[in-house]
Amino acid sequence: MTNLYDRHQNKKALAKKARAKTRSFGFSQKEFQDSTATWKDFKPKDVDISSYTKGIVSKVIKDKIKVLLNNEMIDCRLFREIPKTLRDNLIVGDKVYVNNENKIVYREDRKNHLSRLRGDNTRYLSGSKHTVAVNIDFAIIVATISQPKFNLGLIDRYLILCQYGNIKPIICLNKIDLSNERNPILSWYKEKLGIQVIEISAKENIGLDKLKKIIQHKIVVLVGNSGVGKSSIINKLLKSDDIKTQFISEKGRQGKHTTTSSDMYILDENTYIIDTPGIRALNLIGIKKENLQYYFREFYKFKPFCKYRDCLHISEPDCGIKEAVASGKINKLRYESYLRIISQID
């Protein structure tokens, strides 16, 4: 049993240790234990931030974090006193500062994000926000001619999420070796919305040089439904077979999930590709019914002609949007996509 003197000495030692931590890292023991703390609370105050090595989070599995430091993937852990709430929200693409013991001491503010809702009702986290990647230059939305079939609705949902997260989208049409037919909506994306569309075949090595040139010196994320060939594209760009790929399921001609978490790969110096899990449904996050119309940019100039200010362009009379659709000034496929999406927003 410790006596009063020993307890006093232990208390002094702990206080001294806490003061040393505060001097070195700029935050106190109380802040360590604060569940409401943010990364801003942990920015070193008395130490030049440039004395740490800046890196990019490339993979997160529980408390194991891979960080890209000087073009090498290094296993890192968080500084031991950082709250679990902050450990759990590190995302691939986060820019972090690492000390000489490979401990992450600070995370920079994010410039953008790609997020969705978890949609599987059988899962505990159903309905929760899932941020796929952050600090992205381009989101490459991968679609296919067929196998699986061209999915306009999913592309539109990704375009909405890109706009919501402040990310520039690029549509990448894969498997063009399977057919010469093109969905007419692709021309609308290019000519009316100014979205870049590139056509490739990962299997036949068509268009990959153009894609590589577009993403040079950028951080990009590849997104799309299962089976569109995201991992195959990355394998061809990296000239590697390390990323697991899988053939299309014969039943229903649907893709199977082969990527289970977001992973970052080094294409060359300052060019990084993030592969994401394939999905079959994409739930939107943070977007209300009355705001959905603002994510369809071609609606802008026709909205003033709606009779009602709160018009949702569904069944309201004297709707400027519906009239523009009828006259061909708004693409009918896009309008139908809007109707499907708004019907699924609570």
Give 70-120 as a DSSP string: TTEEEEEEE-TTS-HHHHTT--TT-EEEE-TTSEEEEEPPPS-EEEEE---
Same domain? 127 vs 258: yes
Same domain? 240 vs 120: yes
Q: Is residue 283 part of a domain?
A: no
Instruction: Name the domain boundary from 79, 107, 135.
Output: 107
Same domain? 224 vs 132: yes
Same domain? 100 vs 120: no
Same domain? 323 vs 258: no
Residue 301 has pLDDT above 90, yes or no: yes
Same domain? 237 vs 322: no
Residue 62 vs residue 117, higher pLDDT = 62
Same domain? 71 vs 121: no
Instruction: Name the domain boundary from 54, 83, 107.
Output: 107
Tokens of residue 165, six digits: 């997260």
pLDDT tens across 244-257, in order? 544 333 343 444 44
Q: What is the domain-level CATH number for residue 74?
A: 2.40.50.140
Task: Return the percentage of the chain with pLDDT > 90, whole number.
Answer: 56
Residue 36 vs residue 133, higher pLDDT = 133
C-alpha angle with apex 233: 163 to 223, nearest 5 degrees?
A: 25
Residue 327 vs residue 118, higher pLDDT = 327
Q: Is residue 97 part of a domain?
A: yes
Sign for the pseudo-dihedral over CA of 151, 152, 153, 159 = positive
Q: What is the domain-level CATH number for residue 316?
A: 1.10.40.50
Same domain? 57 vs 123: no
Q: Which domain does 300 fall in, by range?
A: 289-343
Taking phi over 0 as left and psi of -120 to 50 as alpha, with beta for the rest, 37 belongs to beta
Residue 122 vs residue 324, higher pLDDT = 324
Same domain? 269 vs 297: no
Report, in angstroms and rounded to the nearest whole number, the Rg of the chain calculated over CA atoms. Answer: 24
pLDDT of the residue at 329? 97
Task: Please tell me the total count of domains within the chain.
Answer: 3
Q: Is residue 282 part of a domain?
A: no
Q: Is residue 242 part of a domain?
A: yes
When the pLDDT of each residue in the chain is averaged and rounded to a whole number, the result is: 82
Same domain? 265 vs 119: yes
Residue 143 vs residue 71, higher pLDDT = 143
Same domain? 257 vs 177: yes
Q: What is the domain-level CATH number for residue 175?
A: 3.40.50.300
Q: Is residue 280 part of a domain?
A: no
Same domain? 170 vs 259: yes
Burial of 321 (0-12, 13-18, 19+ CB in 10 A): buried
Residue 69 has pLDDT above 70, yes or no: yes
Q: Averaged over 215-224, what is the pLDDT?
A: 95
Residue 46 vs residue 44, higher pLDDT = 44
Instruction: Name the domain boundary from 82, 107, 132.
Output: 107
